[in-house]
Structure 1
Amino acid sequence: MINSASQYPVHALFSTESNIVYRIPRYQREYSWQKKEWEDLFQDLVEAEGAHFLGTIITLNQTKDAVDSTVLELIDGQQRATTLTLLLSSIYSIFKEHRDELDDDAQFAMISLGKRLVLPGGHLRVTPQTQGKNLDDYRRVLTIAGLKIESVQLPYFPMRRIHKCFQYFRTAIAELAESEGTTAVEAAERVLHTAQQAILVKIEVASHADAFVLFESLNNRGMPLTPVDLIKNHLLAASSGDGLDVDDAFKMWNEMLSNLGDTYSTHERFLRHYYNAFKAELPEVLNAQVATKSKLIGIYEKLLSGDLRARMEALVTASGIYGRVTCVTELDEPTELDDALRKLMRAQGAPSYILLMWLLSKRDELKVSDDHLVAVVRRLTSFFVRRNLTGFPQTYGLPTLFMGIVGNVVGLTGDAVVARIVRDLVAVSSSDAEFRDRLEGPIYDENSDVTRFILVSLAEHAMTKETWRDLWVQEKGHYTFTIEHVLPQGKNLPQAWVDMLGGPDAATTVQEAHVHRLGNLTITAYNSTLGNKSFVDKRDRTDARGLHIGYRNGLALNTGLATKDSWTAADIDARTRELAAQVVSRFPLS
């Protein structure tokens, strides 16, 4: 079943000495990774200590002529392989732009990198499939990067994921250089070294049937011990004596986890955030300026080596505060602060919990009231709506950002605390102009979660107590109210839409340019019911009781749609600009 299974660093898989190429079969889905996955990969590489493990790829040898090249069909791993080569292409482009600044080592690295991406004769090291214009866009990116390869630029190339991924990594490397006070070349060299040392396990199978069996076995593995499990085991092993027996340690540990809810990711994040928030007050841990996943076990081995009872009491107290910040703990009568915290959670503001846990634990000393805290949380929500849409500042810089704010607030009280936090957030956030520019682009394709938060916020802002509807309600783990594309996003537009937009070619052009823009999006509870219906059918749709479930459903967000008889590119553009202005106003920073 398995011909071979070995681990390789990326530089060996893409060796300049080999003629191996990786081809993604036509039946594979098109490239689908988005900013979240790009950010996670980049952050993991930047934070890596030693060789970072990238996972497993499964290949099938499809070589026809070994003299020409060894062809491995990439059955599993196309998203990672494509993203890796786009990262390497972005590094190559930076080297190319700064060629006059490169020393001999960097010159050699650039030449080698080019050979890793494109073999002699113009053969691609990784060949994406053709769906979604992936292959054409990939070839075009390599040309833009400075590699000698034939390509054409198809319409709307900048709006598709292959190009966006390439540009994301170029921007991320530039921001890394700025944050660390180095040159773009030095930052690119650092990322290149880590990327090329990263490890992949390559499994080569004998047939497609074997690949399927392997998928099944890999997806049914037992769960390994987590860092949180190992930290607990260390605590229990250390607790025989030192003022805390095993039973008490176990009880306090479970109390801490109970405050945090049932989700492992929250447990692990709390332990990181606790160290980052209170680092100035904790015992020094060598080589741990910031708590990362890879450093977590070592950090807590140090923290749990002293007065265990005092440390666990502090962790239990902090976990209670963290439970409220993360909305795990529900108060019988939620306050305005709890409502603000829930909005921050929905805006994906978890990195700021470092700051909020510290503020709530020090609120008496800082003389901050609930009103002060509400003001801070609202500004944090605005910050994250902007950050999660623009991607700035980078994810890997957020822990140090909020640790820095904690340090800057020490010694301040009351209004001065709020003012300093706002000042620090404004200093690192995107401008209103940058924010508006992203809002007027293909926002849904950029970040669908942020898009939903924005649309719901606009709808909620116009509600009164009499018209209130819970747009966050879920059924069977899914939101009842979901994002609806007015102009459908499916490739086979119904004839009514084709006619309205001026024919097949015009309809395709409008759809590619405008379908994911803010003006073409709304919230409904009946997305699947509306589907590909004509605009008028969507607008006037009712249920069996005669209640409006289309755009005349009473949400203020749909008021403009409810009065329209047609929906064109001009309509989408006008509504996009109108809604973008509302969003900038709804989420101010200063």
Structure 2
Amino acid sequence: MKGIQGTSNKTYRQLMGNGLRYEIPKFQRDYTWEIEQWDDLWQDIQALLSDNDSEHYMGYLVLQTSNNKEFQVIDGQQRLTTMSLLILATLSCLNELIEMGNESEKNLKRKDSLLNSYIGYIDPVTLISNNKLKLNRNGDDYYKHHLVLLKDLPLKNTNASEKHLRECFKWYYDRIKKTYENGERLAGFIENIVDKLFFTVIEVTDQVNAFKVFETLNARGVQLSSSDLLKNHLFSIVDETKPHISEIEELENLWNKIVGKLGEEKFEDYLRYYWNSYNKSVGKKDLFKTMKSIIKSKKQVFDLIRDLNDATDVYLAIQNPEDRFWKDEPEIRKSLQELKLFRIKQTYSLFLSAFRKLEIDAFRKLVEICSVISFRYNVIGGLNPKNQEAVYNAVALKIAEMKNFAVKDFQSVYVRDENFENDFSTKEFKSITHNLKIAKYVFSKIERYLHHNDIDIESDLFSIEHILPESADATWGGFTDEEINRSMDRIGNLTLLEKKLNREAGQKTYSEKMTFFQKSNCKLTKSIPEEFNAWNEDKIAARQRELAKHAKSIWKIQELVNG
């Protein structure tokens, strides 16, 4: 490919030799590796050391250079940073031996040799120590002034990247200290692995070609996130205009504010929801390609990032019912709590568009509509969310353009009464924590509707009772094994019951349980003995059909009933 200066395989020793220096661009993503990745590398290294002939492939490094001495790390910074931290952890162990007077002279030579070879070197002109690796703006000061100098590592006033650097260092330090007890073994550990770890190095001559390689690697399955791709693309666009440094700094500050609020791992999702709030819906895998085809000028870059920053708080608020945004909006908070309970994310783009374009009364109505639709469509119906996303996207675009919507816009994803009643009549809630929370919600809503009795589903006072017990066998109430399997998790077999009464009722027979139900403050439960003098599969089905009729009236949008 034009612009590629060379491709080669190099060991870690070769990478760090001959006075070479590596710089992670200041706009590159922060250090984010965690225990899973640290442990993977550690296990690979331990396997290497048990096999004298083996090597370990560390993947691609994409480097940009104009002089073959100084390189910008376009891809590979997580691995290079982790290797430096692993070596620094080893040097810290050597430093402790020196301070303890354990072969101090020999261990000092070992430490200095390893430090000069893999961490820093002495400039022959200035005699100033230079680090071989320079991190991005969020990590380099901590790396340079604390980690490399083997000083105490500050805990307070550190950003997320610095915390990851510190934790990685300590994680490797703990394992290295336990594994290698003397200076000779510590030095041997490093000298052994630097020849066994190798990378495929791709060198490019400029940022544009680096970006093309970035895309090519992505197309070949070396997956980089859309946020990485987008950030490099946006900075490339601005960089081509030879901007004033203040423009780059503003761009960086805005980007860091967004990522700082969301976290690196959540940015990609936000980006897609934001984009789809103003544009025709696009999936994750096509997001970068689509944005790249549209965002081409410096003005577009700044407009995009400024608006992304402005919308971040709204995005976080629609996921968090307790956010200050909803302090004076109890109805919105309630609907958002329901959507969170249902684990609905399809509404995010719609809500981003709506909150910024609609009056609060219209937004309140929209959120309530989506909660009802989600209960019918997703929770009870279990229908394909892709159809739902298309409708929500169409409404989002309408709101973005016209600043209004019609309830009828949602007609195609509002499950008709007959279908909803049938779905509810056969619905099961398997006994997992999340399902039981939804079951508590369902029964509390029906209790309020029928008996005007409020039960707090967040309270520990009530739990879900299985009338036919979960561990029932064929000796309980004459149920066969097949009937037990069919009936156990049906809504008709569930009810709300105080935890204390639930424990006492345990595996008792239905006639014995009736006494406990009569003591309950949940009137829906209290009425069960009055309505059913026995408990069998037919009674469960009958009760569930009755509950379904009530549900149809509770989760209802009147304007859509006859659609």
Structure 1 length as normaliser, TM-score?
0.47
Q: Considering only CA atoms, is the larger Rg found in Structure 1 or Structure 2? A: 2
Structure 2 length as normaliser, TM-score?
0.49
